[in-house]
Structure 1
């Protein structure tokens, strides 16, 4: 991907609760039903459900795979084929993505090396800094280690996680911030 594509995919990854690049690459068109993305994490096999907001769609539509023969949502794996062929395409795309993220971080003078996983860590860190309970952050990221799972047994509804995701997007996106403020005003009015 070019620098612009890398930037957009990084932002999309953040919006999608820090979705790992492998999961982003292998998202299928059929993973979206009624404005909700449901996919299985490649690392853990756990199912994640994310409500798609307009700022997410804006990026998805820009990189939507329009090849009717491809099952994939985005133009990352460009030629569906055997598992090894697709894996090579994914690995090549990941190398290029990380290379462009590194260039972006240098250009912006961030002092931090951007990689595909930084979006995931950023989502978690910003959520923590916003006093989101660690248990909700853990659920949002679909952590699978036994230690985390035993610590955070309480599950959260998809609606609760959608609110957390909106709050995280509001930190970096004006449209999301406006929607977050609207929802917060509604919450205050209901409590009066």
Structure 2
């Protein structure tokens, strides 16, 4: 239960006056909110009745002001208590007024980017930088205040994005419109910066342009997740790449390793160490969520890994004891920014090589490194592997996450329904 009262500091401030605060007590923890008002003397305050005495020249007006502030604090404490997250600090944070100074969107965005750099999030920096650049093209180089970024402003930005163009990755001379997912990602970074400004009390919730009821709604469009067929995977395994540069064989081997280890992510695959292999099992920590686990090492995966045993596994050429060679010359794996930047560049090379390999096996499918995960999920759905088993393999915290992911590859019932209806 929250207790709210007026608190008068017993020691005078530098100007000789005594500041008036609102004291919030919840679970024996206290927080103080300065009201900006002061007393000339402690004798002007009646502690028992919690009122300013009539000896103060503006006693009536000041008492009404303090009653209003007490009511605000009590109402906010009750509101947060019904939401199950009441604390003295939370009430203070909610009541803290928005700073009355001009704050531009770019000020908070620059702070966001600086923090991402300090955290070593190279991928976030690379994607957010491009999205913010496009926003700055529309919004006076980011020199717009948060009240200016209202619903009408964001609606015009959506139109701007839908009319924008980008170069195709494979053909720099050809342009195409931004995809719905790309547009959504551009809106998300604006929302992220806006939320940060609200949390820092640098923007008001009343001006927030995102949500329902006439505001901008952010929806994630569904994207098709298509894996490789069993035939295509078999063709990958048997394709003779001896006449090509090593990157082709490495791209194929890394892709297959990811597939054999239940759709392992490419970052985790590139970071695999020889010491992760013990007693016929692979022990590793998933980089995305920090989850530990182990998997059986299939014979096909072991055959691939053993190709890298000599020349790549020695301490002289591979100080980090990595199985695959693409990160071995980094001074340290602890420099997150440098590591993520190298991985990003390596993945681009691997994906480009996989594009050429798919042409060699006569397929038009996209076989980027992440498609190994989709391919495993597709095969698992076809083999009707139980979601709880897949949850453990994927290391998802929630079974619903696994079921939602697998639903992207569930086509059998729909196919059977079509056959049942038209098969006459």
Q: Does the alignment reach a TM-score above 0.5?
A: yes
- The equivalent of 2:270 in structure 1 is 25
Distance 2:293 2:354 in 1: 26
Distance 1:63 1:133 in 2: 34
Q: TM-score, normalised by structure 2?
A: 0.33
Q: Displacement of 1:138 after TM fit?
A: 2.5
| RMSD of aligned alpha carbons | 2.2
Greater share of helix residues, 1 or 2?
1
Alignment partner for residue 40 of structure 1, among 267, 280, 285? 285
Distance 1:55 1:147 in 2: 31
Bigger radius of gyration: 2
Tell me the alpha carbon deviations over residues 104-142 of structure 1, each in whole angstroms, 9 at most, x when there is no partner: 223323221111111111111101101111221222122
- The equivalent of 1:180 in structure 2 is none
- The equivalent of 1:58 in structure 2 is 303
Tell me the alpha carbon deviations over residues 83-106 of structure 1, each in whole angstroms, 9 at most, x when there is no partner: 233333322211101111111223
Q: In the comparison of the two structures, how many residue pairs are matched?
A: 151
**Is the contact between residue 18 and residue 120 of structure 1 (CA under 8 Å) also seen in structure 2?**
yes
Tell me the alpha carbon deviations over residues 41-60 of structure 1, each in whole angstroms, 9 at most, x when there is no partner: 11111112111132211101
Alignment partner for residue 78 of structure 1, among 319, 328, 332? 328
5+ long unaligned stretches in structure 2: 1-245, 405-424
Q: Secondary structure at the match of 1:48?
A: strand
Q: TM-score, normalised by structure 1?
A: 0.70
- The equivalent of 2:314 in structure 1 is 67
Alignment partner for residue 129 of structure 1, among 382, 400, 412? 382
Alignment partner for residue 353 of structure 2, among 100, 107, 115? 100
Tell me the alpha carbon deviations over residues 30-74 of structure 1, each in whole angstroms, 9 at most, x when there is no partner: 222222111111111111211113221110111243231223222
Distance 2:387 2:262 in 1: 14
Bigger drift between 100-109 and 43-52 goes to: 100-109
Distance 1:80 1:140 in 2: 30
Bigger drift between 4-13 and 62-71 goes to: 62-71
**Is the contact between residue 387 and residue 399 of structure 2 (CA under 8 Å) also seen in structure 1?**
no
The reply on whether 1:7 has 2:252 as its aligned counterpart is yes
**Is the contact between residue 391 and residue 399 of structure 2 (CA under 8 Å) also seen in structure 1?**
no
Change (3 A) 1:126 1:146: closer
**Is the contact between residue 260 and residue 298 of structure 2 (CA under 8 Å) also seen in structure 1?**
no
**Is the contact between residue 282 and residue 295 of structure 2 (CA under 8 Å) also seen in structure 1?**
yes
Q: Displacement of 1:145 after TM fit?
A: 5.5
What pairs with 1:105-184 in structure 2 (closer than 5 Å)? 105-144=358-397, 147-148=400-401
Answer 1 or 2: higher relative contact order, Cα 8 Å, separation at least 6: 1
Change (3 A) 1:117 1:145: farther
Greater share of strand residues, 1 or 2?
2
**Is the contact between residue 272 and residue 284 of structure 2 (CA under 8 Å) also seen in structure 1?**
yes
